[in-house]
């Protein structure tokens, strides 16, 4: 062996005694540690990060691919594959697959697995009926930033509450429809009590068919405005006794007769449910009650078409 070869051998031996050959790993130009083998480390990336048994994850992609460079690592230093893997995993972009349950194209719940979604749809079919347009659609979320999933228990609770809200909404819409006269919504019953004479009745106390609805209640019971409007009469008027008339617009006027007390004045604005008078027996009356009348453009109509059904 030549002197040069011997010297080189000695230098290499000394180096190998103090250093190990390693691979420096950098991410986005920043050194993050060392591994012993590029091939072995890439296999770990594939097996531990890019491949997952989590059925809710559709795919995983590294945000930045690591760069490698052979280097000498002092024997006093250790490689840190696990730390580098942890950083890569934390920075990785994960795409989650979810199952959105939709009713009439509106998203009602997002679940982690197809079976829960299918079970929920079956339950919704029973509650909403076969005519409901129900569907399950796959949706995707990057790093769980959208399409947040819920448990099947939470979904059931939300759906049940949603059904109750929908029923209440429909009932309210139906109520408004039934209690609307010529575009005016009669939001409030004037009083609660017993109906003693209906619209159109012919009785000895009067010479004509009854133009309203008589509702018996104790003297002094508060009478409320059936809808918002303007008071156009508040005083005594013949057989009506103490009477309040409210103009609600669109030709709709309501009458509140036989009152013992009047709480409003002509020109006063009132809202549905406001106190306007008290039950009495003034005028052509045989006992304490409210005469409630609805007129449309001067013609009386049956109040029970709208209230007290």
Domains of the chain: 3-91 (no CATH), 96-178 (no CATH), 184-305 (2.70.70.10)
Burial of 65 (0-12, 13-18, 19+ CB in 10 A): exposed
The better pLDDT of the pair 296, 1 is held by 296
Q: Is the pLDDT of residue 2 over 80?
A: no
Q: Which tops the pLDDT comparison, 170 or 33?
A: 33
User: Per DSSP, what are the bridge partners of residue 261?
Assistant: 278
Which residue has 């508040």 as its token pair?
Answer: 234
Nearest 10 degrees: Cα torsion 236, 242, 246, 247: -30
Q: Tell me, what's the pLDDT at 4? A: 53
Task: Give the model's pLDDT for residue 26.
Answer: 95
Cβ proximity of 268 and 231 under 8 Å: yes
User: Which pLDDT score, from 0 to 100, does residue 224 have?
Assistant: 98
Q: Is the per-residue pLDDT at 172 higher than 60? A: yes
d(CA 241, CA 38): 102
Quickly count: other Cβ atoms within 10 Å of residue 297's Cβ.
9
pLDDT in tens, 103-148: 888 888 899 999 999 999 988 888 777 777 899 999 998 887 788 8
């Amino acid at each position: 062996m030549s002197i040069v070869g011997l010297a080189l051998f000695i230098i290499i031996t000394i180096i190998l005694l103090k250093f190990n050959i390693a691979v420096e790993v950098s991410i986005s130009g920043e050194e993050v540690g060392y591994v012993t083998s590029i091939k072995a480390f890439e296999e770990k990336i594939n097996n531990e990060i890019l491949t997952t048994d989590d059925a809710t994850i559709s795919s995983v992609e590294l945000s930045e691919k690591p760069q490698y460079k052979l280097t000498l690592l002092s024997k006093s230093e250790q490689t840190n594959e696990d730390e580098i893997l942890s950083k890569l995993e934390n920075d990785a972009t994960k795409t989650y697959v979810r199952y959105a349950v939709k009713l009439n194209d509106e998203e009602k719940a997002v679940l982690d697995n197809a079976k829960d979604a299918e079970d929920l749809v079956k339950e919704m079919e029973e509650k909403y009926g076969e005519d409901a347009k129900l569907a399950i659609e796959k949706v995707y979320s990057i790093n769980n930033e959208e399409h947040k999933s819920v448990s099947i228990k939470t979904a059931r609770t939300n759906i049940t509450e949603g059904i109750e809200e929908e029923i209440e909404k429909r009932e309210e819409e139906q109520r408004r429809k039934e209690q609307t006269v010529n575009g005016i919504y009669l939001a409030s019953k004037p009083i609660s009590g017993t109906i003693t004479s209906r619209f159109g009745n012919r009785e000895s106390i009067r010479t004509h068919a009854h133009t309203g609805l008589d509702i018996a209640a104790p003297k002094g019971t508060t009478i409320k405005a059936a809808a918002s409007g303007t008071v156009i009469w508040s005083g005594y008027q013949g057989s009506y006794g103490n009477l309040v008339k409210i103009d609600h617009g669109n030709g709709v006027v309501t009458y509140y007769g036989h009152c013992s007390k009047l709480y409003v004045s002509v020109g006063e604005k009132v809202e549905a449910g406001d106190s306007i008078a008290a039950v009495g027996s003034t005028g052509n009356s045989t006992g304490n009650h409210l005469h409630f009348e609805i007129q449309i453009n001067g013609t009386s109509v049956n109040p029970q078409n709208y209230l007290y059904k």
